[in-house]
Amino acid sequence: MPSAVGGTGRTGGRAGRPTMKDVAAHVGTSIKSVSRVLNGEDGVSAATAERILQAMAELGFRRNDLARGLRQSDRTSTIGLALPQAGTRFHDSLVHGIDEIARQQGSFVLTASSGTAARERETLTALCSRRVDGLIVVPAGEDHGFLRPEQQAGVPVVFVDRPPHGIAADAVLTDHAEGARAGTAHLLRQGHRRIGVVGDDERIFSVAERIGGHRAALRTEQVAYAEELTRLGARCAEEAMHACLDLLGSGQPPTALFTLNNQCTIGAVRALRRLGLTRRVAMVGFDDFETADLIDPPVTVISHDVEEIGRTAARLMFERMAGHSPAPGRTTLPTKLIARGSGEIPVVDESS
């Protein structure tokens, strides 16, 4: 958490916290201008506003110091939500959970898709310029330091699914590593030793964590991690299907598959069907999906409650808006193994 140390222009303030006066003195502008920037009013040039926001960040000025004294009308009753991509099931469930809490609080949610890391800053800035009371971010980029002025100006920022970089903020995560460890251990218990892994890009935090958990489970059972059984970079079900076909068609194919998200799971089911192997190759997938129990065999999954992740993130945000200001921390939600059939297929003797 940023401290107020180094606020050269500070002239006091309770508990050492900088005031609007300190910010004004630091920039060499009027308190009225600082107030205007803080309240999103016009009448301050863009350059001055930027310098004021920068000073707020440097001095560790926090609007929460004032929040209790602000009129309700300073609030916009709007929450901003930034997602890397619109229209994935993870994001739907997340929006659902956030929306539920926001409605309870009389707020409405504006959602924007940030897309690539390059576009993320632009999207988040555009979202903030619409005056949101708080911001929930599923990060796409690597550095979110540019959100510090917003945060310092009293807009709480909560990160979801991936931790923040370049900014101290709350994060709500899934215990990806433990989930993947449990899923892999489940396959090891059925006797599998050659477990194929199919997933998205390893540079994504959740993917890296899941692979870490998978390897930890192998280590516990002293099974060597075989690089040649891992196929990463599958961005959709179609790519995952081809990765699985490649893996299962190799000289020493895996006897089980561990898929790192539900798109990969669906791709793997298609590959197993195409090869007539649905009852011979075991499979555990990360992420549950609505029809997993209707597929033959029903798919064993590592499930996480994404709506609850959304609710938790929204609650943290509203708590900060209400003036709670503990040090930013991580909340990690557990996963659950749901055994349905595909993950309980035993090793088939390769010579049979």
Task: Indicate the residue among 163 and 297 with the shorter CB distance to a copy of itself.
Answer: 297
Q: Is 74 in the site for a copy of itself (CB under 8 A)?
A: no
Q: Which stretch binds a copy of itself (CB under 8 A): 184-192, 208-216, 291-299, 336-344?
A: 291-299
Query: What is the total residue count of the chain?
Result: 352
Residue 185 is encoded by which pair of tokens? 């251990």
User: Cα-flanking dihedrals φ and ψ of residue 350, to 5°?
Assistant: -65, -20
Q: Is 96 in the site for a copy of itself (CB under 8 A)?
A: yes
Are 107 and 291 in contact by the 8 Å Cβ rule? The answer is no
Task: Indicate the residue among 52 and 79 with the shorter CB distance to a copy of itself.
Answer: 79
Are 280 and 261 in contact by the 8 Å Cβ rule? The answer is no
Closest residue by Cα to residue 199 from 172, 185, 179: 179
- Separation CA 214–CA 51 (nearest Å): 47
- Out of 67, 112, 188, 245, point to the residue binding a copy of itself (CB under 8 A): 112
Cα(first)–Cα(last) distance of the chain, in Å? Answer: 61
What is the identity of the amino acid at 241?
M
Total of residues contacting a copy of itself (CB under 8 A) = 37
Q: Is 125 in the site for a copy of itself (CB under 8 A)?
A: no
For residue 186, count other CB atoms closer than 10 A to its CB. Answer: 21
E-state strands within 162-267: 170-174, 195-198, 230-231, 256-259
- Separation CA 312–CA 93 (nearest Å): 13
- Separation CA 51–CA 32 (nearest Å): 14
* DSSP states of 299-352: PEEEE--HHHHHHHHHHHHHHHHTT--PPP-EEEE--EEE--SGGGPPPPPTT-
Q: Is 350 in the site for a copy of itself (CB under 8 A)?
A: no
Give me the 201-240 binding string for a copy of itself, x by CB under 8 A, dash otherwise.
------------------------------------x---
Q: Is 87 in the site for a copy of itself (CB under 8 A)?
A: yes
Report, in Å, the least distance between residue 339 CB and a copy of itself: 18
Give me the 9-48 binding string for a copy of itself, x by CB under 8 A, dash otherwise.
---------------------------------x------
- Out of 39, 64, 105, 113, point to the residue binding a copy of itself (CB under 8 A): 113
Q: Is 291 in the site for a copy of itself (CB under 8 A)?
A: yes
Are 101 and 314 in contact by the 8 Å Cβ rule? The answer is yes
Report, in Å, the least distance between residue 26 CB and a copy of itself: 28
Task: Indicate the residue among 236 and 322 with the shorter CB distance to a copy of itself.
Answer: 236
Task: Return residues touching a copy of itself (CB under 8 A).
Answer: 42, 77-78, 86-89, 91-93, 95-96, 99, 103, 108-113, 115, 122-123, 126-127, 130, 237, 266, 269-270, 273, 289-291, 294-296
